[in-house]
C-alpha cells in the first residue's frame, strides 16, 4: 500500500494493471481487500485503483472535518487521473454517487453495488440490527458487534452460515473490527453525502444487488435504477450484501462487459 499524506492524516491506496482507470470504493464494513478476488481480473485491461476510506483499513482516522468525495478527488489528482470508471459497494456506492454528482466531468461510468439511500425509512429488521450493534458497542463488547455485522452483511437474512463460502468471515472480521473501532470519530467528522438529484447522473450506470440481501437494499437498488437515467439493474442470485465476496466470478463478468462500453 502507498500513502497520500494530508492535513488530516493519510489515505492508503494501491494501483495495479494498465489501461483505462477504474476506481474501486469499498463497503463501510470492509476495506480495499474486499476486492481481492475481483481486482486482478480487472487489472488485465484496466489500471485498477483501490484505497481505504478515511478511518478504514490502513487509512488513518480523521482528526477534523472531511468529505469522502473530497478525499476521492484528492487521490485522483495525486495520481493524475482526470476521468475514471467508478465502482462502489454499499457505503462506497454512495460515495461514488456523491462524487459523480459533484464532479460529473471526472466520471466515465458508474457501477453501484447495493448502495444505501439517504433518509431511507428502514425496516424493523434493519432497526433491530442497528440496536443490537449499538448495545454491543455501548457495553464495550466489540466481538459481539462484529458478529452482529457479519450476520447482517455477510451471511444475510436469507441463508445460514453453512451456505457462506469458507474463509469469508475470517477475511472480513479484521477490516470490520477496524471500521467499528473508528466508527464514532468517522461519524463525527464526516460531512456526509450531498443532497443531489439522481437525474443529474449523466453517465452509463449499472446498479447491482444480491438476491439474498436485506429487502431494504433490494428496494433501494430499484430506486437507484429507476432514478438514474438509463441505468441498468443486475441481480446476483447467489450474493447477499457484499457481492464482491459472494459472487466474484459473476461480478467480474458483469463489470468486464460494462466497463468495456
The CATH number of whichever domain residue 36 belongs to comes to 3.40.50.1820
* 126 CB neighbour count, 10 Å cutoff: 17
CA terminus-to-terminus distance, the chain: 30
| Structural domain of 14 | 2-121+185-259
Buried b (16+ CB within 10 A) or exposed e, 55-76: bbbbbbbbeeebbbbbbbeebb
C-beta of residue 191 within 8 angstroms of C-beta of residue 66: yes
- Spell out the per-residue pLDDT of the chain, length 261, in tens: 999 999 888 999 999 999 999 999 999 999 999 999 999 999 999 999 999 999 999 999 998 999 999 999 999 999 999 999 999 999 999 999 999 999 999 999 999 999 999 889 999 999 999 999 999 999 999 999 999 999 999 999 999 999 999 999 999 999 999 999 999 999 999 987 776 789 889 999 999 999 999 999 999 999 999 999 999 999 999 999 999 999 999 999 999 999 988
Q: Reduced to 3 states, what is the DSSP secondary structure of residue 159?
A: coil
Any domain includes 251: yes
Does residue 157 lie within any of the structural domains? Answer: no
Give pLDDT, residue 57.
96
**Euclidean distance between CA atoms 216 and 242, whole angstroms:** 14
234 within a domain of the structure (yes/no): yes
Q: What is the pTM of this model?
A: 0.95
Contact between 130 and 183 under an 8 Å Cβ cutoff? The reply is: no
- Report the number of distinct structural domains present in the chain: 1
Instruction: Assess if residue 76 is contained within a domain.
Output: yes
Q: Residue 223: CB partners within 8 Å, gap ≥ 6? A: 117
170: alpha, beta or left? (left if phi > 0; alpha if psi -120 to 50): alpha
Q: Is 224 a domain residue?
A: yes
Instruction: With respect to residue 179, please indicate whether it lies within any of the assigned structural domains.
Output: no
Kindly state the DSSP code that residue 154 receives in the 8-state scheme: I
pLDDT at 193: 75
Cα–Cα distances (Å) from 96 to 29, 104, 166, 177, 214, in that order, read 16, 11, 30, 23, 21
Cβ atoms of residues 154 and 8 within 8 Å: no
Residues in the chain: 261
Structural domain includes residue 170: no
With respect to residue 139, please indicate whether it lies within any of the assigned structural domains.
Answer: no
Amino acid at each position: 500500500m502507498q500513502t497520500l499524506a494530508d492535513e488530516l492524516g493519510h489515505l492508503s491506496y494501491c494501483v495495479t494493471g494498465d489501461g483505462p482507470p477504474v476506481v474501486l470504493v469499498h463497503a463501510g464494513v470492509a476495506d480495499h481487500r474486499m476486492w481481492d478476488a475481483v481486482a486482478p481480473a480487472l487489472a488485465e485491461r484496466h489500471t485498477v485503483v483501490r484505497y481505504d476510506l478515511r478511518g478504514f483499513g490502513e487509512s488513518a482516522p480523521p482528526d477534523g472535518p472531511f468529505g469522502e468525495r473530497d478525499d476521492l478527488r484528492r487521490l485522483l489528482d495525486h495520481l493524475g487521473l482526470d476521468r475514471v470508471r467508478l465502482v462502489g459497494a454499499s457505503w462506497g456506492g454512495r460515495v461514488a454517487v456523491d462524487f459523480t454528482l459533484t464532479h460529473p466531468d471526472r466520471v466515465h461510468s458508474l457501477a453501484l453495488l447495493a448502495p444505501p439511500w439517504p433518509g431511507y425509512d428502514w425496516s424493523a429488521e434493519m432497526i433491530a440490527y442497528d440496536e443490537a450493534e449499538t448495545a454491543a458497542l455501548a457495553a464495550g463488547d466489540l466481538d459481539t458487534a462484529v458478529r452482529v455485522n457479519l450476520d447482517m452483511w455477510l451471511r444475510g437474512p436469507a441463508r445460514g452460515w453453512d451456505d457462506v463460502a469458507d474463509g469469508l468471515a475470517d477475511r472480513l472480521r479484521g477490516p470490520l473490527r477496524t471500521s467499528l473501532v473508528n466508527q464514532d470519530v468517522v461519524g463525527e467528522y464526516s460531512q456526509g453525502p450531498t443532497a443531489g438529484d439522481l437525474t443529474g447522473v449523466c453517465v452509463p450506470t449499472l446498479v447491482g444487488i444480491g438476491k439474498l440481501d436485506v429487502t431494504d437494499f433490494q428496494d433501494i437498488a430499484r430506486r437507484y435504477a429507476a432514478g438514474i437515467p438509463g441505468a441498468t439493474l443486475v441481480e446476483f442470485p447467489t450474493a447477499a450484501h457484499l457481492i464482491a465476496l459472494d459472487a466474484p466470478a459473476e461480478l467480474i463478468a458483469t463489470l468486464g462487459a460494462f466497463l468495456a462500453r
